[in-house]
Amino acid sequence: MSVKRLVPSSLRGVRPGWYVLFAIAVYALVVTVLLVARRPPAAGVAGHAGATVTAATAVAGSASGATATAGLASGLWFPIPGARLPAQDDHLPGAARAYRHGVSQGFDFFDQDAGVPVVAGTPVVAAQAGQVVRADVAYTEIDPRAWEVLMADVAERGADEGQLDQLRGRQVWLRLSDGTVLRYGHLQAVRDGIRTGVNVYRGQVIGFVGNSGTDVAVAGRTDQARLRFEVWPGAGTDEFFGAGLDAEAVRIAAASLFVGP
Give domain 66-260's CATH number out of 3.40.50.10860, 2.70.70.10, 3.40.640.10, 3.40.50.300: 2.70.70.10
For the segment 67-103, what is each residue's pLDDT rounded down to a tens digit?
444 455 469 999 999 999 999 999 999 999 999 989 9
Task: Return the domain boundaries, the chain.
Answer: 3-38, 66-260
Per-residue pLDDT reduced to its tens digit, 15-73: 555 454 455 454 545 434 443 343 433 333 333 333 333 333 333 444 343 344 445 54
What is d(CA 39, CA 33) in angstroms, rounded to the nearest whole number?
A: 10
pTM of the predicted model over 0.85: no
- Region at 112 (left for phi over 0; alpha for psi -120 to 50; beta for the rest): left
pLDDT at 176 over 50: yes
Residues 206 and 201: their CA atoms lie apart, in Å, by: 10
Contact assessment for residue 184 and residue 126, using Cβ atoms and an 8 Å cutoff: no
Q: Give the confidence band of 162 by pLDDT, cuts at 50, 70, 90.
A: very high
Confidence of residue 260 (pLDDT cuts 50, 70, 90): confident
Sign, Cα dihedral of 42, 44, 49, 50: positive
* Per-residue pLDDT tens over the stretch 188-215: 999 999 999 999 999 999 999 999 999 9
Which helix (H) or strand (E) segment is 21 a member of?
A: helix 16-38
